[in-house]
C-alpha cells in the first residue's frame, strides 16, 4: 500500500482520492472490528455472570424441596420397653445422676426403632408381608430418622403408646430417584435402590404419602454422614456467623483506629512509611498464607483448639484488616480539609475534631468498606482448611470455642461426597445460601452508600 502511494502520480486527484477511499474503507473496517471485539469482551463478561448464576440456580433450587414421608407413627410400647426416666435422688452427685440418665438413654437407643419405621411404612403397603422385603422397606426412610424418633421420646417419654402424624425424611437415594437425578433406564446393577424399593417409592409418591416438602433440614440440621438426607447447613451457618461477629468486633475497630492514626496523627517518618507499604502488601498477600499463619501461630504456638470459629475468626480478621484500613483511609482522605480547619479554628483539640466532626462524616464510607470486607471474609475457604475447619462436625456449635465448620468449607466438603447425584444439588443449594448472605450484605453496603453519601 505504502509503495503504491509513493509511486502514484501526485498530480492525478482522482487516483489519490481512490487510494484514500480504499484506505478509509480499510480503516473503518478495522474500527468496526475493534469496536465489535470490545463489545464481545463486555458480553463475554456478562455472559459468564449469567452462566455462573444460571448453572448454580438450576442445580440448587430443586434441592430446597426434599422427598418426605408424611405418615402416622405409632410409638408401640411393645417395641419401646424402657424404665421410667431417672430422677435425682437425695445424696446423689450430679455425676452419678448423669450416668444413670445416660444408661436410660442407652436403653432407649437399644429399642428396635427400625421395627417402628418398618411398621409405619408397612401400614401403607399391606401387600408387603415377606420378612426380607419388610426389612427393605426401611431403605425408603433415611437412617437418621430413628434417632429423631428416639430424641422425641427422650424429650417427652409420655409419647410411648401414642400415635403421631410426623414427617420422616426419605432416603437420599429415594430423593434422587423421584427427582429423576439418576437415569431411570439404567440396569438394576447400576441403580442404588433395589427394584421393589423403587416401585414402592413411585407408588407412595403417587398416593401422596411421599411428598416434596420444603427442605427445613437444610437450615435446621448440622452436617451428617450416616444419614445423608438429613445433612444440613445449621452448624456451618452458625460457625460462619460466629466468625463474622469476631471479624466485626476485631477487624473493624482496629482497622478504623489504624486508619485514623495513619491519616490524622502519624508524622511522616520511616516508621509510618513502613506501616503504609506493609498494609498495601498485606492486602495482596494470598489468603492461604493467612491460613499458614493461623496454623503456625494460633494452633502450634498458642495451642488454641483446632476447627474452632474463634481461630477462624482471628485469621479472617487479620485478612480483612488491610481492606478495612484502606477503605477507611480513602474515606477520610475524601473529607475536605476545611472541616478540620474549621473545627481546629474554633478551638477544638485534634481528638475532638476527629471524634466530633471527621468520623461522623466518614461513617457511611467506613461502614460500606467494613461490610464489603466482612462479606469477602465469610466467603473465604482456603485459610480455614489449614486451621482444621474441614473436620466433619455433626453438631451446631454453641460457643466460638466449639468445633465447627463454615459455609464455604461445608460447600467444599459436600462437593466431595460420593453420592454425587444427591450432593451436587445440595452443594448448589448451600452456594445459594452463601451467595444470598453475601449479596444481602453487599446490598446493605450499596444502600448505605446511596443513602448517606455526600459529595464534596
Partner 1 sequence: MNNWVLICVLLMLMALAYQFGLARSRSVAGQGAARMHSRPGYYGLLVALWCGLPALAVFLLWTLFEPGIIRSVVLNQLPPDLAGLQGNELEVLLRRIEQIASGFGVSDQPAAFELAAAERMRSLQNTGRLAMIASMAVLCVAGLVWTLRRIDPQLRARNQVESVFQALLVISSTIAILTTIGIVLSMVGEALHFFRFVNPAEFFFGTVWNPRFSTTGAADQGQFGLLPLLWGTLMVSIIALLVAVPAGLMTAVYMAEYAPAWLRAVAKPVIEVLAGVPTIVYGFFALITVGPFFSVLGQTVGIDIRATSALTAGVVMGIMIIPFVSSLSDDIITQVPRAMRDGSLGLGATKSETVRKVVLPAALPGIVGAFLLAASRAIGETMIVVLAAGNSPILHANPFEAVSTVTVTIVNQLTGDTDFASPQSLVAFALGLTLFVITLSLNIVALYIVRKYREQYE
Q: Interface residues for partner 1 in 36-55 (CB under 8 A)? A: 37-42, 44-46, 48-49, 51-52, 55
Binds partner 1 (CB under 8 A): choice among 10, 17, 22, 27: 27
Please identify, among the stretches 127-135, 140-148, 180-188, 375-383, the one whose residues bind partner 1 according to the rule CB under 8 A. 375-383
Helix (H) or strand (E) holding 337: helix 337-345
Q: Does 386 bind partner 1 (CB under 8 A)?
A: yes
Please identify, among the stretches 201-209, 223-231, 336-344, 404-412, the one whose residues bind partner 1 according to the rule CB under 8 A. 404-412
Binds partner 1 (CB under 8 A): choice among 287, 330, 417, 421: 287
Q: Does 31 bind partner 1 (CB under 8 A)?
A: yes
Q: For partner 1, which is the closer residue by CB, 200 or 290?
A: 290
CB of 132 to partner 1, least distance (A): 38
CB of 37 to partner 1, least distance (A): 6
Contacts (CB under 8 A) with partner 1, residues 417-436: 424, 427-428, 431, 434-435
CB of 55 to partner 1, least distance (A): 5
CB of 276 to partner 1, least distance (A): 9
Choose among 222, 176, 140: nearest CA to 63.
Answer: 176
Q: Does 282 bind partner 1 (CB under 8 A)?
A: yes
Q: Does 280 bind partner 1 (CB under 8 A)?
A: yes
CA–CA–CA angle 237, 243, 248 (5° rounding):
125
Q: Does 96 bind partner 1 (CB under 8 A)?
A: yes
Q: Does 59 bind partner 1 (CB under 8 A)?
A: yes
CB of 202 to partner 1, least distance (A): 28
Beta bridge mates, 22:
none
Binds partner 1 (CB under 8 A): choice among 235, 239, 313, 408: 408
Contacts (CB under 8 A) with partner 1, residues 142-201: none
CB of 286 to partner 1, least distance (A): 3
Q: For partner 1, which is the closer residue by CB, 6 or 95?
A: 95
Please identify, among the stretches 2-10, 219-227, 297-305, 359-367, the one whose residues bind partner 1 according to the rule CB under 8 A. 297-305
Angle between helices 113-124 and 145-155 (to 10 degrees): 110
Rounded to 10 degrees, the C-alpha dihedral 148/231/396/438 comes to: -140
What is the rounded distance in angstroms from the CA atom of residue 279 to the CA atom of residue 25? 52
Q: Does 260 bind partner 1 (CB under 8 A)?
A: yes
Binds partner 1 (CB under 8 A): choice among 194, 351, 395, 443: 351
**Cα 324 to Cα 63, 383, 386, distances in angstroms:** 36, 19, 24
Q: Does 360 bind partner 1 (CB under 8 A)?
A: no
Task: At 324, list the grid cell.
Answer: 478495612
CB atoms near residue 43 (< 10 Å)? 11
Q: Does 95 bind partner 1 (CB under 8 A)?
A: yes
289: left (phi over 0), alpha (psi -120 to 50) or beta: alpha
Binds partner 1 (CB under 8 A): choice among 15, 23, 300, 341: 300
Q: For partner 1, which is the closer residue by CB, 53 or 214?
A: 53
By CB under 8 A, the count of residues binding partner 1 is 90
User: What count of residues does the chain have?
Assistant: 456
Tell me the HSE value of 97 on the side-chain side, using a 13 A CA sphere.
Answer: 10
Using a CB cutoff of 8 Å and minimum separation of 24, what contacts does 436-441 make? 437/240, 437/378, 437/407, 438/375, 438/378, 438/379, 441/371, 441/372, 441/374, 441/375, 441/378
Q: Give the DSSP letter of residue 170.
A: B
Task: At 297, list the grid cell.
Answer: 501461630
**Cβ–Cβ under 8 Å, residues 378 and 240:** yes
Amino acid at each position: 500500500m505504502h509503495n503504491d502511494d509513493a509511486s502514484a502520480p501526485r498530480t492525478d486527484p482522482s487516483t489519490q482520492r481512490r487510494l484514500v477511499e480504499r484506505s478509509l474503507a480499510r480503516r473503518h473496517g478495522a474500527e468496526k472490528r475493534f469496536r465489535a471485539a470490545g463489545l464481545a469482551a463486555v458480553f463475554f463478561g456478562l455472559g459468564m455472570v449469567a452462566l455462573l448464576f444460571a448453572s448454580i440456580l438450576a442445580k440448587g433450587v430443586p434441592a430446597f424441596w426434599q422427598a418426605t414421608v408424611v405418615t402416622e407413627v405409632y410409638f408401640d410400647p411393645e417395641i419401646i420397653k424402657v424404665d421410667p426416666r431417672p430422677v435425682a435422688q437425695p445424696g446423689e452427685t450430679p455425676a452419678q445422676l448423669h450416668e444413670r440418665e445416660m444408661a436410660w438413654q442407652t436403653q432407649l437407643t437399644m429399642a428396635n426403632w427400625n421395627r417402628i419405621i418398618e411398621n409405619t411404612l408397612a401400614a401403607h403397603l399391606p401387600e408387603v408381608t415377606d420378612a426380607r422385603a419388610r426389612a427393605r422397606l426401611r431403605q425408603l426412610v433415611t437412617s437418621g430418622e430413628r434417632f429423631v424418633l428416639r430424641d422425641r421420646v427422650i424429650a417427652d417419654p409420655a409419647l410411648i403408646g401414642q400415635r403421631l402424624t410426623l414427617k420422616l425424611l426419605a432416603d437420599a437415594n429415594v430423593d434422587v430417584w423421584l427427582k429423576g437425578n439418576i437415569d431411570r433406564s439404567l440396569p438394576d446393577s447400576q441403580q442404588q435402590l433395589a427394584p421393589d424399593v423403587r416401585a414402592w417409592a413411585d407408588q407412595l409418591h403417587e398416593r401422596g404419602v411421599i411428598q416434596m416438602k420444603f427442605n427445613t433440614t437444610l437450615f435446621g440440621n448440622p452436617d451428617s454422614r450416616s444419614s445423608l438426607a438429613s445433612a444440613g447447613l445449621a452448624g456451618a451457618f452458625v460457625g460462619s456467623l460466629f466468625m463474622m461477629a469476631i471479624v466485626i468486633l476485631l477487624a473493624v475497630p482496629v482497622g478504623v483506629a489504624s486508619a485514623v492514626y495513619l491519616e490524622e496523627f502519624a508524622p511522616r517518618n520511616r516508621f509510618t512509611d513502613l506501616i503504609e507499604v506493609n498494609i498495601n502488601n498485606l492486602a495482596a498477600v494470598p489468603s492461604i498464607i493467612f491460613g499458614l499463619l493461623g496454623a503456625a501461630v494460633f494452633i502450634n504456638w498458642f495451642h488454641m483448639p483446632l476447627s474452632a470459629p474463634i481461630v477462624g475468626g482471628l485469621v479472617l480478621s487479620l485478612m480483612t484488616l488491610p481492606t478495612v484500613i484502606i477503605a477507611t483511609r480513602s474515606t477520610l482522605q475524601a473529607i475536605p480539609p476545611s472541616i478540620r480547619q474549621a473545627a481546629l479554628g474554633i478551638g477544638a483539640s485534634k481528638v475532638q475534631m476527629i471524634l466530633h466532626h471527621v468520623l461522623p462524616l466518614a461513617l457511611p464510607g467506613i461502614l460500606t468498606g467494613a461490610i464489603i470486607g466482612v462479606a469477602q471474609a465469610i466467603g473465604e475457604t482456603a485459610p480455614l482448611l489449614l486451621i482444621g475447619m474441614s473436620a466433619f462436625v455433626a453438631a451446631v456449635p454453641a460457643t466460638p470455642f466449639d468445633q465447627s465448620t463454615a459455609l464455604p468449607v461445608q460447600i467444599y466438603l459436600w462437593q466431595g461426597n460420593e453420592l454425587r447425584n444427591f450432593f451436587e444439588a445440595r452443594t448448589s443449594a448451600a452456594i445459594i445460601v452463601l451467595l444470598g448472605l453475601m449479596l444481602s450484605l453487599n446490598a446493605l453496603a450499596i444502600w448505605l452508600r446511596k443513602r448517606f453519601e455526600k459529595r464534596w
